[in-house]
Amino acid sequence: MAEEFEPKIVAFLCKWCSSAGSDLAGVSRMEYPPNVVPITVMCSGSISPLYILSAFNKGADGVLVSGCHPGDCHYIKGNLYARRRIALVKELLEFIGFEPKRFQMSWVSAAEGSKYTQIIKDFVSQLKPLGPQTELRRNL
Amino acid sequence: MVNLEELKENAKELLKQEKVKYIIGYKRGTNGLMPVPAFIKKPEDVENLIWDPLCIYNLTRFLVDEKRKKAKQKNPDERPVGLIVKGCDSRAVNVLLQEKFINREDIYIIGISCENTGVVDEKKLVKKLKGKKVKKIEFGKKNGFIVSTEDGQVEVPSSEILAERCQECIAHFPVVYDVLLGEKPKRKPDNPFKSLEKMESLSREERWTFWKEQLDKCIRCYACRSTCPMCYCDECVVDTINFAVTADTTAEEKAQKIKWVEKSPVLSENFVYHFIRAIHLAGRCIDCGECERVCPLDIPLRFLNKKLEKEAKELFGYDVGFDPDRPSLVSCFKEEDPEDFIR
């Protein structure tokens, strides 16, 4: 029997909330799928659309962008800028016909380890039936 | 109606009084009827200036070049540059002002109203006339153009040869100017995003097939980037021409230079290029349609920018290029911005 497809997820987590949230999930020994590659950035507002695209380009099956809840940003308003920018990226990805389920954004605070594990679990189960992402993968 | 004599008179006065360095406008080209950009430096040369429905180019791009040129000069001429703008071009000027790329006092804007029509689409015109040679094309009295060919004059309704962007235009007259020629018409299109409707009604798979086919054609000539008045970054993410390799640049430094996009014109890389260009133009593109016009492979690039213009309007209530004092789209936010897509 062929092995089940395991999606690869790139998660851009902000240092102050989401990354701490994922850390909490870890130290609390909560279980979640090992498909995710976390990349800690200083703020969700620092995530350029190019990072997201580049992740897909280099073979990610799904991309997650996660930041602090509105009002909790360490830099006061970085996540609100991110919200606007990511909304545009999402709309444009959908417009050109890219599978919208492959790209997600979430707010995860430092105390929400369980929310983080739930998001990853749901994301992985969403991506499994879609199969590998080939649309944007670098193909020279 | 815009009076050409008035335009010439204005330009002549400006040059005579030495108020401006030079005037950027349109003149008749040597190849057929299509105009070319004109740089008028002497008062006697203003006779070359023209204004007709074929003046489709956005001359704002030259402000970017002018700024670069000026930065290199030791004793630059501080007088402003005269620039002839249509409604859409004036919004491009506004965006450059908004981003503080240029100063208001460095430009003298001669605004031209498109009034009841707009500019023609050259491809549509050629198709309409079935190869007949155009001798002259003028704005009609009402909603149309008067085209003179070898067989005499015909009046063509604007719906047939008007450029698609002009049909969706929301500013038929300049929104920023020092002198305005023509009148300010009060008309709004029924739906400024009409051309998107067809695309949006397709299913996701169909849209993907469409864009795959289109972007696969791209040869990465970067004509779209070169002609865009908003693409003025000193270093573009797609090429590293400004990465200074000196005698002490180590191999490691060279290797570690981030390469976001490969230069090869293959689908996946074209995709990243066009996508990132569209995102960079979100809330900045004023839909002058130049990228699509210069594309040698006829990729409908306008759609990508138009889509983001639509989203900016619908999601964030943002109109591009009307108020230079407002913060730009992605450098501001509202508390009530939509977040239903966020978990």
CB contact under 8 A, A138 and B268: yes
Q: What are phi and psi of B181, to 5 degrees?
A: -110, 135
Ranking B36-45, B236-245, B267-276, B290-299 by mean pLDDT, the lowest is B236-245
Count of A–B CB contacts within 8 Å? Answer: 108
pLDDT tens-digit series, residues A2-51: 688 999 999 999 999 999 999 999 999 999 999 999 999 999 999 999 99
| A95/B341 CB distance under 8 A | no
| Cα–Cα nearest to B95, from B186, B231, B224 | B231
The residues on A that touch B, with CB distances below 8 Å, are: 49-50, 53-54, 57, 70, 77, 80-81, 83-85, 87-100, 104-107, 119, 135-140
Q: Residue B17 above 90 pLDDT?
A: yes
pLDDT band at residue B252 under the 50/70/90 scheme: confident
Q: What is the pLDDT of residue A140?
A: 78
Sheet holding B107-112, edge to edge: B35-40, B23-28, B81-85, B107-112, B179-181
Among residues B133, B128, B116, B132, the alpha carbon closest in space to that of B53 is found at B116
> Cα A133 to the chain's mean position, in Å?
15
Q: Tell me if A96 and B268 make a contact (CB, 8 A cut-off).
A: no
Closest Cβ opposite residue A97 in set B207, B275, B339:
B207
pLDDT reading at A1 higher than 60: no
Of A91, A106, A140, the CB nearest to B266: A140
Which range among B97-106, B230-239, B290-299 shows the weakest confidence by mean pLDDT?
Answer: B230-239
pLDDT per position as a tens digit, B159-197 = 888 888 888 888 888 999 999 988 887 777 888 898 899
Task: Say how far residue B141 (Cα) sits from the centre of its chain.
Answer: 26
Q: Cα–Cα distance between B85 and B45 in angstroms, integer?
A: 19
Whether residues B307 and A83 touch (CB distance < 8 A) is answered with: no
User: How far, in Å, are A6, A126, A135 from residue A131 at the CA level?
Assistant: 8, 10, 11
Residue B60 in this model has a pLDDT that exceeds 90: yes
Instruction: Please name the member of B211, B282, B342 whose beta carbon is closest to the beta carbon of A96.
Output: B211
Task: Tell me the pLDDT band of B316, cut-offs 50, 70 and 90.
Answer: very high
B339 with A94: Cβ contact below 8 A: no
**Would you place residue B128 in the very low, low, confident or very high pLDDT band (cuts 50, 70, 90)?**
confident
Residue among A46, A66, A72, A96 with most chain B CBs within 10 A, to mutate = A96
Confidence of residue B216 (pLDDT cuts 50, 70, 90): very high
State the pLDDT at residue B204: 94
A54/B267 Cβ within 8 A: no
Is pLDDT above 70 for B243? no
Cα separation, A135 vs B272, whole angstroms: 11
Instruction: Delineate the domains of chain A, giving CATH numbers in brackets.
Output: 9-130 (3.40.50)
